[in-house]
Structure formats: structure tokens, C-alpha cells
Amino acid sequence: MSMLYQLHELQRSFLTPLAAFTSTGSQLFSHPYSPFAYMPLSRQLAASYEFVHRLGKDYEKPQWGIDSTQIANRTVPIAIHTAINKPFCQLVHFQRQLPAKTRPDPTVLLVAPLSGHHSTLLRDTVRALLPEHNVYITDWVDARMVPTTAGPFHLNDYVKYVQEFIRFLGPDVHVISVCQPTVPVLAAISLMATNNDPCLPRSMVMMGGPIDPRQSPTQVNRLATTHPYSWFEDNLIQHVPTRFPGSGRLVYPGFLQHAGFMAMNPDRHLRSHYEFYQHLVRGDDSDAEAHRRFYDEYNAVMDMPAEFYLDTIKTVFQEHQLPSGTWEIDGQRVNPADIGTVALLTIEGELDDISGQGQTRAALTLCRGISRDRKQHYTAPACGHYGIFSGRRWRETICPKIATFIRQSA
């Protein structure tokens, strides 16, 4: 086991004073009450300081920033509270403050990925769903913040968490899974169907996930198959440093996942940062702020439990246990064909470079017990992975399709 995490923390301790210094320098040359803001080249100096500050700063978990929604041209306040508090996840409810006699909207369980970013990455997903749905979301806990006394967390535990949340919300719930959780969500519902669980959900929507990563394999899929399991275990798993509550826990660190994200499209990120500097120099505040918002979210990463990460590599990407029918949880085989009453909608992006074409759609074939008239698929044209659940295409095209599907399945 390497000392990479400890070296990373040492680097962060050196960068913290630099980040504070450059933040002050940026304000010194840009604040309207500062005389230095009116000097020649002040914009260039302020832009340079902020650029360095954002490269060196530590990115904390972002806030949800959702305090209201619009329903029938009326602003409705939102109260965010935790419905269930588990060691590795909180079930968060976006409670709309509606009049008592208002007709209830469908309840949605939005299962967020446990894949390096915080669940706030689905902020736009939540915001678009809120006007017509009662929304709950899985808010996963940074593994470095979970004491070792809480024990390990495996992929099978993820499945059990999902089942617990579905049972808590009752049989009228509609489950939406985005990316990585499509696999454990399908497993959870399959086992519930096998056991004739009375709390089976009304419908399940699966978006851009690796149900069968053998279909149109991407760079992400190839990484998992070109290295043996032992390579991931030996090179990527680290101990949490002592300054965190989860000291000693084995994790796949968020900073390694972030490096992987950046390495997939380095030219795009370099161009984005250069354009950000140009926006600051020109005074294009709206464009600069859009960059800040995106990278405040993108750069805020979290650690994953080592057991969960390694299980995912082996079960999902190397052995393809779900589509091959070999996955067992507590002695029971995961058999999606046992699902008969749950409506299914699969969604893919035409340009998705993380979950390729056909990987999510494979669920339609696996769930052969669902009648054809209760299964649908949609491929979003000219849409990448993040565009499936965030941005204009999500808000204007994909979310309305999901809303219609849910109401047809209620």
C-alpha cells in the first residue's frame, strides 16, 4: 500500500497558503473599493491571481442551493431534510411547502452515483423534477468521513440500501437511477420481485448506466478490462490519513478519480481554463461565473469505500455478472427476468463516452418478464453523458419524457 494519499495531503498543506494569498491578491486588483483595481493591467493581475487560486484551492462539497420551485406560475418554498441517515448515505427529501389540499404528485427516488462526485452533481436533475414530483435523493457520504467502526461497504450493501429506501417510500414510488447505480438498482428490484416484495416500485428509469458494458465499450470500460483485479487493489486503494474521521479506512481516493476524469478530455479542460482567464480579463462576468459553478462542482470529489469500488470493477466491468446471470447476493441469484409489474424506461446519450450505446438499453432484454407495452427506450440525439441529466436537453426534452412515463405508470 503506497503513501500516495499522505503525499497528496502534504501537497494540499503547501498549496493552502498559496490559495489564500492568491484569493486576497485577486480581490485587491478587482474590488471596486480597492485603489489597485484602477491601475493599468489590474484586470490581468486579478485574473492571474484568481486563476492560480482556483488551481490551488480545496473544493468542498457544494450546497444544494435549491430553496424554491415554480409550480403553476407560483413560487413554492423547498425544505431540505434527511429522511433516513445511514453510515454511508443519507436519504434526502426536497419537501415542497404545498397547500394541504393539493393533489399529491408521484414520489420519485433519485439514486445518485457513488462514483467520485457528490450527489449535488444531480442538482439540475432535482431542480427539473421538483415542479411535478415529490423528490428524494441518495446523498452518499464521503468515505473518509465514515469511521472504521461503521464497517466495510460493499456493492451488495449498496443494493440493500436501495431496497431499504424503496420500502421506506412505499409501493407507489418511481425509481430513477443515473449512471453507475443502474446496476445495483436493477439488482435491488430484481431481488424484490423474486421474493414477491409488496413494496415493488411502480416504475424504474435507467439513465446512461453500464448494465452490460460489453456493448460499445468506452475508454472507461477498457480501463477495467485491460488491468487485472490485483492492479486496482495494489495501485489505487489507499488508507485515509489520520486527520479525517475515517482514519485508516481503505478507500479509492477522490483525487485519483478526478485525475482520471481530467485525463479523459485534457484538451477540453485546458481550453475551458484558458477561456475562463480571457473572460476575467474582458470582464465577461456571466461566462466567468458559469465556469466557476461548473468547476466548483466538478472539482469537488469524494472518496469511495475500497470494497465497493473493487466489487464494482469485478462484478460489473470484468465479470459482467448482471447480464451473464451469475450475480448472487446472500445466496440468491439476481434475475431481472423475475420483474413483471414494474414499468421500465431506459435512456442513453448518442454521444455518451462513459456508458456506450446499448449498455443501458440491455436492461430491456434482461427484463423479459415485463410486457413490451410497459418498456420504452429513448436515445437523446447529440447528447453526451452529462447532458442526459443536466443542461438544456435534460430540462427541455428528457425530463418531460420521464414525467410522462411516470404518470403513465402510476
Residue 336 clears pLDDT 70, i.e. is over it:
yes
Per-residue CA distances from 59 to 4, 221, 264, 291, 399 (Å): 19, 28, 20, 14, 29
Handedness of CA 301, 306, 311, 314 (dihedral sign): positive
- Single pTM value for the model: 0.90
Residue 83 clears pLDDT 70, i.e. is over it:
yes
When mean pLDDT is compared across 12-21, 117-126, 247-256, the lowest value belongs to: 12-21
Nearest CA-CA partner of 395 in 383, 407, 406: 383
For 379, residues 6+ apart whose C-beta sits below 8 A from its C-beta are 347, 348, 349, 350, 357
Nearest CA-CA partner of 179 in 229, 130, 236, 218: 218
Taking residues 313-324, what's their average pLDDT? 97
Residue 130 clears pLDDT 80, i.e. is over it:
yes
Q: Would you state the pLDDT for residue 115?
A: 87
Mean pLDDT (the chain) is 91
DSSP 316: I
Taking residues 288-301, what's their average pLDDT? 81
Distance CA 227, CA 364 (A): 30
When mean pLDDT is compared across 19-23, 64-68, 166-170, 362-366, the lowest value belongs to: 19-23
Please tell me the total number of residues recorded for the chain in this structure: 410
C-alpha cell at 359: 449498455
Q: pLDDT tens digits, residue range 166-191?
A: 999 999 999 999 999 999 999 999 99
Q: Would you state the pLDDT for residue 55?
A: 74
**Confidence band, pLDDT 50/70/90 cuts, at residue 325:** very high
Residue 350 clears pLDDT 90, i.e. is over it:
yes
Residues 197 and 185 sit within 8 Å (Cβ to Cβ): no
Burial class (CB in 10 A: 0-12, 13-18, 19+), 359: buried
Nearest CA-CA partner of 96 in 80, 111, 109: 80
Q: Would you state the pLDDT for residue 259?
A: 72
Nearest CA-CA partner of 215 in 361, 367, 4: 361
With a pLDDT cut of 70, the percent of the chain lying above it is: 98
Q: Would you state the pLDDT for residue 264?
A: 67
Residue 1 clears pLDDT 60, i.e. is over it:
no
Per residue in 284-294, is it b (16+ CB within 10 Å) or e — as a string?
A: eeeebeebeee
Residue 230, classed as helix, strand or coil, is: helix
Q: Would you state the pLDDT for residue 328?
A: 97
Where is 333: in which H helix or E strand? strand 332-333
Residue 48 clears pLDDT 60, i.e. is over it:
yes
Q: pLDDT tens digits, residue range 266-292?
A: 788 788 887 887 888 888 888 888 888
Q: Would you state the pLDDT for residue 59?
A: 76
The DSSP bridge partners found for residue 375 are: 344
DSSP 146: S
Per residue in 301-321, is it b (16+ CB within 10 Å) or e — as a string?
A: bbbbbbbbbbbbbbbbbbebb
Q: How large is the greatest C-alpha to C-alpha distance in the chain, in angstroms?
A: 73
For 167, residues 6+ apart whose C-beta sits below 8 A from its C-beta are 197, 199
Distance CA 64, CA 80 (A): 9
